[in-house]
């Protein structure tokens, strides 16, 4: 099957937003008291961010340079993260409801920005109306086949027990239903049931018709049915031929990207490699060891090890897939990059240079660009530190992020260029070449503490004059196919052919 990925994603720079924590609008009334904006995040607390707050801050995102937004779940729920859905057809009133989403989409699209929503189709919340129906009527409910119920519940001999005591048994037998990872708040849907499949596919179609630009799919591997995701793609693409479908899979998984299910994955393996390369002695090993996925996956990498891993990750997928992979450094499911890097802002800047210059769509997790820190959930979900609310955003780091995002935006070769084997690799430095329609980009990164001068033999066709896009040298000329690069410590050099 041929691979058909959306063309617009090749030019996209994403910004991931956890809606409760980014920005609050005075136009969205709140029903009661909230946690203070500047207090530490908690597991269950609400800060009051909403969709109109995002819409009102689109000029900030535009100035940052991003042109696509990925929102974590926005549908009605009783949790601040909204991964336990109550109603897939209702935007949570705390976020402003459907009217707020309409305004956000319209204002974003006016600015040429795309918006991707988070689809949680493996499990629901206890308040999801078909599950609530079972809680009220037990095995007599016509929705009993929508979930994986214990035989005693199906037979009407007992009711589910959705609120067990802390530390109690959460098996199917104890709860009366299968809960995802044994979490009582997350009943697992029976996606083998035709009515459930049709309901979920209808949800996907509905919001694409409403105007969203794609779906990020939560834990898709938990739905162990290729046919479900094949139908999902077919139905979505029938509504929006350029809809972006990206899956949350933490491993290298080319079987998901053959053209019949997803366009891309959240590229955690690349993030882990980048953080290992740029972090070196700065890595906070306690933070890494405390995360269920990062433990054992993020280790210090020298230039040669990072180069080998990079070549592996770029070669395992079709080039049209690589071009649209979601290249993140942080997310709501992992410690923030700056925390993983032990607070080393130079290392974070180098990491962002790599995501800005490698194939794929770079994704900034809200607040990373101004130095927000945080370990595992809930601390990786702190509020954005708006200066007018007393916050202290790191404006120097912000300027670095803006510069690199603009560099990628201004030069198609950094978005669409081919990438072959590294031109040079040693313990600290990696030199890469990309080419697009006759324009070449030579990028060199250095994870060492000393500046380096490197001479590389250029590929055929790259023997040209170059501009130094990050330094002060206006013109650098190759001589007989040889190019000499000065690479600053813990950063890099980007040269674009003239």
- Catalytic residue list: 218, 248
Of the candidates 5, 3, 1, the one whose C-alpha atom is nearest the C-alpha of residue 214 is: 5
Q: For tokens 């008291």, name the residue.
A: 33
Task: Give the β-pairing of 264-265 and 68-71.
Answer: unpaired
DSSP state of 303: H
DSSP state of 8: G
How many residues make up the chain in this entry? 498
Of the candidates 85, 92, 95, 87, the one whose C-alpha atom is nearest the C-alpha of residue 54 is: 95
CB of 180 closer than 8 Å to CB of 186: yes
Calpha distance 170→183 (Å, rounded): 7
CB of 262 closer than 8 Å to CB of 220: yes
Task: Give the β-pairing of 85-91 and 75-77.
Answer: antiparallel
Q: For tokens 């950094």, name the residue.
A: 414
DSSP 3-state assignment of 114? strand
Would you give the end-to-end CA distance of the chain in angstroms? 39
DSSP 3-state assignment of 162? coil
Which runs of consecutive H residues, i.e. helices, occur in 47-96?
Answer: 51-56, 58-64
CB of 190 closer than 8 Å to CB of 145: yes
Calpha distance 428→416 (Å, rounded): 26
**Phi, psi angle pair for 334, to nearest 5°:** -145, 155
Calpha distance 175→492 (Å, rounded): 55
DSSP 3-state assignment of 56? helix
Calpha distance 224→204 (Å, rounded): 19
User: What DSSP element (H or E) covers 348?
Assistant: helix 345-357
SS (H, E, C) 379-393: HHHCCCCCHHHCCCC
CB of 153 closer than 8 Å to CB of 160: yes
CB of 287 closer than 8 Å to CB of 297: no
Calpha distance 475→485 (Å, rounded): 12
User: What DSSP element (H or E) covers 298?
Assistant: none
Beta bridge partners of 440: 435
């Amino acid at each position: 099957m041929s691979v058909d990925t959306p063309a617009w994603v090749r030019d996209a720079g994403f910004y991931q937003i956890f809606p409760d924590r980014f920005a609050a609008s005075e136009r969205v009334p709140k029903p009661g008291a909230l946690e203070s904006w500047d207090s530490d995040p908690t597991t269950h607390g609400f800060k009051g961010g909403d969709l109109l707050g995002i819409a009102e801050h689109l000029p900030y995102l535009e100035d940052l340079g991003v042109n696509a937004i990925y929102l974590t779940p926005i549908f009605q729920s009783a949790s601040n993260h909204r991964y336990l859905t109550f109603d897939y057809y209702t935007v949570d009133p705390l976020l402003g409801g459907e009217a707020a989403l309409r305004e956000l989409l319209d204002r974003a699209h006016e600015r040429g920005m795309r918006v991707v929503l988070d689809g949680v189709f493996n499990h629901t919340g206890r308040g999801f109306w078909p599950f609530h129906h079972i809680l009220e009527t037990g095995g007599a409910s016509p929705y009993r086949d929508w979930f994986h119920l214990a035989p005693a519940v199906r037979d009407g001999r007992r009711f589910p027990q959705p609120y067990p005591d802390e530390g109690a048994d959460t098996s199917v037998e104890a709860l009366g239903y299968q809960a995802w990872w044994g979490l009582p708040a997350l009943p697992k849907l029976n996606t083998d049931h035709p009515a459930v499949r049709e309901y979920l596919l209808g949800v996907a179609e509905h919001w694409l018709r409403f105007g969203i630009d794609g779906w990020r799919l939560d834990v898709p591997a938990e739905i162990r049915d290729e046919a479900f995701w094949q139908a999902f793609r077919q139905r979505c693409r029938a509504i929006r031929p350029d809809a972006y479908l990206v899956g949350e899979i933490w491993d290298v998984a080319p079987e998901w990207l053959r053209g019949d299910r997803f366009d891309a994955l959240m590229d955690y393996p690349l993030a882990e490699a980048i953080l290992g390369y740029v972090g070196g002695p700065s890595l906070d090993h306690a933070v890494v060891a405390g995360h269920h996925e990062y433990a054992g996956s993020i280790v210090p990498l020298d230039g040669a090890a990072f180069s080998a891993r990079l070549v592996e990750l770029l070669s395992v997928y079709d080039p049209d897939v690589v071009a649209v992979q979601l290249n993140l450094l942080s997310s709501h499911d992992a410690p923030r990059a700056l925390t993983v890097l032990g607070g080393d802002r130079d290392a974070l800047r180098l990491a962002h240079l790599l995501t800005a210059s490698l194939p794929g769509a770079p994704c900034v997790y809200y607040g990373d660009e101004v130095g927000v820190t945080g370990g595992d959930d809930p601390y990786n979900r702190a509020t954005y530190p708006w200066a007018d609310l007393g916050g202290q955003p790191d404006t120097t780091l912000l300027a670095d992020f803006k510069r690199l995002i603009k560099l990628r935006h201004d030069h198609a070769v950094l978005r669409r260029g081919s990438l072959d084997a590294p031109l040079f690799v040693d313990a600290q430095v990696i030199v890469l070449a990309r080419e697009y329609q006759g324009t070449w980009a030579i990028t060199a990164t250095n994870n060492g503490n000393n500046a380096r001068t490197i001479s590389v033999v250029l590929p055929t066709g790259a023997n040209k004059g170059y501009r130094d896009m990050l330094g002060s040298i206006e013109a650098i000329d190759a001589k007989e196919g040889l190019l000499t690069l000065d690479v600053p410590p813990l950063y890099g050099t980007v040269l674009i052919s003239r």
